A and B are shown apart, each in its own frame.
Chain A
Amino acid sequence: MWNRDLADLVADGSLRQIGIVLEQHPDRARLFAQWQQMDWPIYADALDLLDLEVVPRSFLLDARGIVVAVNPTEEEVRGFVDSLASAGGADPGPYQPYGAEFRGAHEFLVGNLPAALSAFGEAVEKADDVGGRSRARFRLGVARMAAAEQPNAEPGLFAAALEDWRAALAANPSQYVWRRRIQQYGPRLDKPYSFYDWVATARAELSARGETPATLHHEPSGAELAVPRRGTAEAAAEALSEPDPERRMPAMPAGTLRVESAVVAGTQEQPVVRVHLLLTPVAGAATWNDEGEATEAWLRAPAGWELVDGPSAKIEGSSESALGDGTRRLEFELRRTSDGAAFVEGYVLLDLCLGEDGVCMRLRQDFRVTLP
């Protein structure tokens, strides 16, 4: 009961329907709204300023903006709209100016990310209670993730955002809106369902309707599309051969590729982690060669860990896993089986075009990622 059921009341002008989405990437809700034919205004609250711990939730408001029911039935909405009470009581007066408790929020909402990052960082430091500090930490993570997806982003923001969300959730584990934000990037064992598999269906159905699907600024990728894994890990059944066992591929020249990593643990104590390798060609030194082969990692299982999907991981295609500024994300999962190594090692093979001459070649980049 929330879209077409009340269309007659909206059409005759007796009710407004309004949406607010609590997502890191609100443009995905634009595609969702187009697909579901929601023709009412939708706004974005990526910071969860409404302080909701679960969604969806519906609020019936009178004409003065006072909440009269939460999660009302269709009958309750129709009955209220027909009643005199729908006009509301006394005028509650103008809204108060945006208060100090929302410092950073205004800057974030108008797109001033540097100011938002600074304000949220201060709020984390100055908060004198667990709740306030965890809210500020979550919002700092939202701003950092948004900044990580900007062109020329500073290194380390992606991993820092995930750490902010982990710390915030640790202080308030019942906060499911925050939990979903981590799960968006976390191990499949920790996922209740695939978060964004509806995107492909929406695009296909919109195209079939003769509509152009709304553009997404950041394509869902990797963990965001992954389906949940249940039970114990099983190594990939297919026989795989190591692509460069004798180190014959040319090594990545120094100063060509920036490699960052982030390790996301499950939110429910499972001994599984999802590793994100962020690969960014250094501006002026290299660019991606999308006519080459898929970017591929070969992993060595560290002692005390097993590789959930086997030793190989790939980025298929050119658009997947795109963060800002040409960054692509390669992801894989490990399960802890006993006390063991503190890091995972491997190498990535990727196709780049180097320098001004644009010589394109497949190169090898070794890596080591510290595990929790």
Chain B
Amino acid sequence: MSILAASLLLPLLSQGPAVGERFPVHPFPPVAGAERAFGSLAFTGKPALLHVFASW
């Protein structure tokens, strides 16, 4: 199967959760500034701006 053909079988670009959806919770380990794994308490209780990025 060509790369192009394979790509046509997949949905459009995945951009993560959409407006109106609940942001998913996974037990992401802390890298900096946190002691516990990522959880729902990380952003409930007050509004949050969540940045997904890479240092590269």
Pair A20/B55 contact, Cβ less than 8 Å: no
Pair A17/B51 contact, Cβ less than 8 Å: yes
Pair A6/B31 contact, Cβ less than 8 Å: no
Which one of A28, A62, A173, A177 contacts B7 once the chains associate, using CB atoms below 8 Å?
A173
Which one of B6, B14, B37, B51 contacts A18 once the chains associate, using CB atoms below 8 Å?
B51
Pair B34/A41 contact, Cβ less than 8 Å: yes
Alpha-carbon distance between A60 and B52 when the two chains are bound, in angstroms: 11
A102 within 8 A of B: yes
A353 within 8 A of B: no
Within B1-56, which residues are at the interface with A (CB < 8 Å)?
Answer: 3-4, 6-7, 9-11, 13-34, 37-38, 40, 42-56
A50 within 8 A of B: yes
Pair B28/A44 contact, Cβ less than 8 Å: yes
Pair B55/A198 contact, Cβ less than 8 Å: yes
Take A26-B31, A65-B22, A109-B37 as given contacts and tell me if A18 and B48 are in contact as well, using a CB distance cutoff of 8 Å: yes
Pair B15/A16 contact, Cβ less than 8 Å: no
Which one of A16, A29, A49, A60 contacts B55 once the chains associate, using CB atoms below 8 Å?
A29
Q: How many pairs of residues, A versus B, come closer than 8 Å at their CB atoms? A: 229
Measured between beta carbons, the chain A residues less than 8 angstroms from B40 are 65, 94-95
Alpha-carbon distance between A57 and B42 when the two chains are bound, in angstroms: 18
Alpha-carbon distance between A49 and B27 when the two chains are bound, in angstroms: 10
Measured between beta carbons, the chain B residues less than 8 angstroms from A58 are 49-52
Pair A56/B29 contact, Cβ less than 8 Å: no
Shortest CB-to-CB span from B23 to chain A, Å, is 5
Alpha-carbon distance between A5 and B17 when the two chains are bound, in angstroms: 24
Pair B26/A49 contact, Cβ less than 8 Å: yes
Pair B16/A50 contact, Cβ less than 8 Å: yes
Alpha-carbon distance between A62 and B26 when the two chains are bound, in angstroms: 18
Which one of A41, A54, A86, A110 contacts B47 once the chains associate, using CB atoms below 8 Å?
A86
Take A20-B28, A67-B21 as given contacts and tell me if A14 and B52 are in contact as well, using a CB distance cutoff of 8 Å: no
Q: Could you list some 9 contacts between A and B, CB below 8 A?
A: A20-B50, A21-B31, A22-B54, A42-B34, A58-B49, A86-B47, A95-B40, A130-B9, A214-B32
Q: Residues of A at under 8 Å CB distance from B?
A: 2, 6, 13-23, 26-34, 38-45, 49-70, 72, 77, 80-81, 86, 92, 94-95, 98, 102, 105-106, 109-110, 130-131, 134, 170-175, 177, 180, 184, 195-196, 198, 214
